[in-house]
Amino acid sequence: MRKRTGQGGALADMGVHAIDTVRYLLGDPKPTKVYAKIGTHYGNYDVDDSGIVMISWDNGTESIIESGWWQPHMDGPEAGTGLFGTEGYANVFPTFIKTRVDGKPVKIDANLPVRTEHCEQGMYTRQMEHFAESIRTGKQPVPGLTEGQIILDIVDAAYKSSETGEVVNL
């Protein structure tokens, strides 16, 4: 990746997917504030290789997104997403929920088939089929331009916040 050719770093490469996932899981709220620390700490890149982005949403929730390449202290799967709430915790990959039932802590596993890769090719094939069908029928793809622009606005705000050291209001 090269900054001079307009390519992004870890946040633009991988972090966008984490932001999109958490926004979807939260019911597509709109971002209100973004604060970030982004830098190059682990590799010889002229773009960011790690970053932490904090997002305030209009539904009152807060998200912390970590993105990075080659993080030597990573303790979870690449592209993992977890949600912490007042009633428990949910993890996307591997998929489970930790909560309380009748006052006792329980872990509920999704019992999905074991996979050797994070994202199987079929997922991308279905996305491309949906996109091509949208073009053929003239229907707006879901998600569409509006959803993508919100994610890009968050990424732009994160880079600005990291440069200025200030919260960016959206």
**Range of the structural domain that residue 35 is part of:** 3-79+143-169
The CATH number of the domain holding residue 150 is 3.30.360.10
Q: Which two tokens stand for residue 137?
A: 């029928």
Residue 97, in any domain of the structure: no
| Per-residue model confidence as pLDDT tens digits over 8-55 | 788 998 889 889 989 988 999 999 999 999 999 888 888 998 889 999
* CA angle in degrees (0–180, nearest 5) for 36-41-45: 100
Output 78 or 23, whichever has higher pLDDT. Answer: 23
Helix-strand-coil split of the chain, %, nearest 5: 35, 25, 40
Domain-located, residue 87: no
Residue 15 maps to a domain = yes
Q: Is residue 58 part of a domain?
A: yes
At 77, the pLDDT band (50, 70, 90 cuts) reads low
Domain total of the chain:
1
Q: What is the pLDDT of residues 56-66, one digit of tens each?
A: 999 999 999 88
Q: Is the pLDDT reported for residue 167 higher than 90?
A: yes
Within a domain: 73: yes
Residue 161 included in any domain: yes
Is residue 32 assigned to a domain?
A: yes
**pTM of the complete model:** 0.78
Yes or no: say if 71 and 42 are a contact pair by the CB < 8 Å rule: yes
Please indicate, yes or no, if residue 50 is contained in any of the structural domains.
yes
In 3D space, the residue among 57, 92, 54, 99 whose CA is nearest the CA of residue 76 turns out to be 92
What is the pLDDT at residue 6? 54
